[in-house]
Structure 1
Amino acid sequence: MSNPNIEVLNDVTKTLIDSQKGYEKVCEVADENHGLRNKFKTLAYERSELVTAFQARVRDLGGEPETDGGAAGALHRGWADFTSLFLSDEKAALEAVDDGEDYLADRIDSKLESSGLDPETTELLKRAKNSARQGEKFADALT
C-alpha cells in the first residue's frame, strides 16, 4: 500500500529542487553588485532548506526521497532561458520568477487537497507554499 504523504512530498520536492537550482543559476549570472543577487541567494537557500526538510520527512515515513528535479518543474520554469532573459531584460525575468512562484504555490495547493495527509506533511507543504508566495510578492513588488 502506498503512502500518500510520501507521494505528495516527493512530487513537491522535485519542483522545489528545480526552483533551488534555478535560483542558484541566476546567482551565477547576476552582476555582483546587482541588488537582486542577495535575494536570489536567500530564495535558493530557503528552497534548499525546504528540500532537506521534505527529504527528511520522507525518510521518517520509510520512503526513498527524491533527489532530482522533475520534468514539470523544468518545463514550468525553463531556467536556461530565464538566465539569458535575466541578462537582457530584468522586468521580464522578474515576471518569470513571479510565474514560477505562482506555479509552485498552486501545485502545493492542489497537493494540500490530497486525502490522508498527516499534520507534519501538511505543515511542510504550508511552509513551502508560504515561501513561494513570499517569492511571488518579492517579484510583484519589483515589476
Structure 2
Amino acid sequence: MENTKTVATLNDLLNITNDRIKGFTKVEDKVWDSYSALKVDYDQMVRQSKVMRADLIDLINERGGEVNDSSTVAGALHRGWIDVKNAFSGNNAESTIENVIFGEKAAIDSYQEALQSGNLCPQSTVVVADQHMQLQESYRKFENIEKSVD
C-alpha cells in the first residue's frame, strides 16, 4: 500500500467531514420548532463529526502525512446554494431537512468510494468503514423524518 495514496484519501475524507460540520452549523436552530425531537440526534451527530475529524487527523499524522484541514469547493457551493434556496423558501424546516439528507448522501458516497478505491491501509479501512456506518445511520434518521413529513 502506498502511504501517499492513503494520506490523500484520508485528507479527502477529512475535507468532506469538515463540510459536514459546516453544514450542520448552517442547520442549527432552523428545524427545532418543527422537529424538536431531532435536536438530541443532531447534537450527537455534531459530536460524532468532530470525533470523526479527530480520528482522520490522527490517521494522517500516524502515516507522516500533512493534514489538509479545509473543506471542499463542492461543499462550499452547496452551502451557498442552501442560503439562496432558503432565502426564497423562507428557511422552512422541510427544505433544511432535504439539504441535510443531500449532504449526508454525498458523504456516504464519498466514503464508499474511498473504501472501494484500494488506497487505504488496513487500519484506515477499519476506521473509515466504521465512520461510513455512522454516516448511514445518520442518513436513515433524517430520511425517516423527511418521509414522515410527506
Instruction: Note if 1:67 corresponds to 2:69.
Output: yes
The whole-number CA distance in structure 1 between the counterparts of 2:72 and 2:61 is: 19
Instruction: Note if 1:55 corresponds to 2:57.
Output: yes
The whole-number CA distance in structure 2 between the counterparts of 1:51 and 1:94 is: 23
Report the 3-state secondary structure (helix = DSSP H, G, I; strand = E; otherwise coil) of the residue aligned with 1:97: helix
Structure 2, unpaired ranges of 5+: none
Please name the residue that 1:139 is paired with: 142
The whole-number CA distance in structure 1 between the counterparts of 2:30 and 2:92 is: 13
User: Which AA in structure 2 matches 1:26?
Assistant: V
- Figure out how many residues of one structure are paired with residues of the other and give that number: 143
The whole-number CA distance in structure 2 between the counterparts of 1:11 and 1:93 is: 25
Query: Do the aligned partners of residues 74 and 124 (structure 1) sit closer, same or farther apart at CA in structure 2, a change above 3 Å counting?
Result: farther
Equivalent residues in 2 for 1:1-143, closer than 5 Å? 3-29=4-30, 31=32, 34-78=36-80, 81=83, 84=86, 88-143=91-146
The whole-number CA distance in structure 2 between the counterparts of 1:123 and 1:30 is: 34
User: Which AA in structure 1 matches 2:56?
Assistant: F
Deviation larger for 20-29 or 43-52: 20-29
Deviation larger for 10-19 or 61-70: 61-70
- Name the larger-Rg structure: 2
Kept in 2, the 8 Å contact 1:4–1:116? The answer is: yes
Moved over 6 A (4+): none
Report the 3-state secondary structure (helix = DSSP H, G, I; strand = E; otherwise coil) of the residue aligned with 2:117: coil
Residue identity (%) = 22
Deviation larger for 32-41 or 57-66: 32-41
Kept in 2, the 8 Å contact 1:6–1:61? The answer is: yes
Structure 1, unpaired ranges of 5+: none
Query: Do the aligned partners of residues 77 and 109 (structure 1) sit closer, same or farther apart at CA in structure 2, a change above 3 Å counting?
Result: farther
Q: Which has the higher contact order (CA 8 A, sep 6+)?
A: 2
The alignment's C-alpha RMSD in Å is 2.6
The whole-number CA distance in structure 2 between the counterparts of 1:25 and 1:42 is: 16
